């Protein structure tokens, strides 16, 4: 199921929801969940068969959403898990910033998400922002999209 995203030359002119979910490294169920939340655009439907499909432009949009972490509705979105080779992105953290405990892993994921959104921030800056924004602890703030949005706003205001 987890595949490397195809290059634009390898994409078909139309593909099914199942094929697109596979290209994005998501299960079909998770893809539909994210679609209902507004993360991915709705498919086009064939008038004759009423079957959903994604034309080339919508496929490219979905791949861009997966790469950047900015949803179709404009909200930040975090994608977790998947295959190691797919997750090696240009925003990989330096060895000195990699941690081993659960909080440090969380900071790493948040730092990667913010970097995918165009912010050049360090792990330490994210950790400091979390401590400033959530002095009672980040566990109190369970919505990760909201956390990323708050961090993005806080850090861009500081720049």
7 in any annotated domain: no
46 in any annotated domain: yes
pLDDT tens figures, 8-38: 567 889 999 999 999 998 888 989 999 999 9
- 3 state SS of 149: helix
Same domain, 94 and 64: no
Roughly what angle, to the nearest 10 degrees, separates helices 123-133 and 144-158?
Answer: 110
Task: Give CA–CA dist 37/56, Å, rounded.
Answer: 22
CB-based contact 130:107 (threshold 8 Å): yes
Same domain, 152 and 114: yes
57 in any annotated domain: yes
- Count of structural domains within the chain: 2
Mean predicted confidence (pLDDT) in 41-53: 93
Query: Apex CA 136: angle with CA 76 and CA 127, to 5°?
Result: 55
Task: Give CA–CA dist 93/86, Å, rounded.
Answer: 15
Task: Give CA–CA dist 140/152, Å, rounded.
Answer: 18
Q: State the pTM of this model.
A: 0.50
**Kind and range of the H or E element at 47?**
none
From residue 81, alpha-carbon distances to 27, 85, 87, 92, 152 in Å are 12, 11, 8, 14, 22
Same domain, 94 and 150: yes
CB-based contact 134:141 (threshold 8 Å): yes
Same domain, 134 and 100: yes
pLDDT tens figures, 124-146: 888 888 888 887 766 555 677 78
Where do we find the tokens 């998947």? 82
pLDDT tens figures, 82-95: 544 444 333 444 54
Whole domain around residue 131: which residue ranges? 89-158
Same domain, 96 and 35: no
Could you give the residue ranges of the DSSP H alpha helices within 10-139?
Answer: 17-24, 28-36, 56-68, 84-87, 102-116, 123-133
Residue 99: per-residue pLDDT: 46
């Amino acid at each position: 199921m987890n595949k490397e995203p195809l290059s634009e030359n390898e994409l078909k002119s139309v593909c099914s929801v199942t094929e697109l979910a596979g290209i994005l490294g998501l299960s079909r169920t998770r893809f539909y969940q994210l679609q209902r939340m507004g993360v991915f655009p709705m498919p086009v439907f064939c008038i004759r068969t009423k079957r959903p499909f994604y034309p080339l432009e919508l496929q490219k949009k979905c791949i861009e959403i997966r790469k950047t972490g900015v949803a179709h509705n404009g909200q930040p979105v975090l994608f977790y898990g998947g295959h190691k080779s797919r997750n090696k992105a240009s925003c990989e953290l330096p060895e000195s910033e990699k941690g081993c405990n659960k909080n440090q892993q969380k900071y790493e994921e948040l730092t990667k998400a913010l970097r995918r959104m165009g912010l050049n921030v360090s792990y330490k800056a994210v950790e400091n922002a979390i401590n400033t924004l959530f002095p009672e602890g980040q566990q109190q703030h369970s919505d990760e999209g909201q956390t990323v949005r708050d961090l993005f706003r806080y850090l861009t205001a500081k720049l």
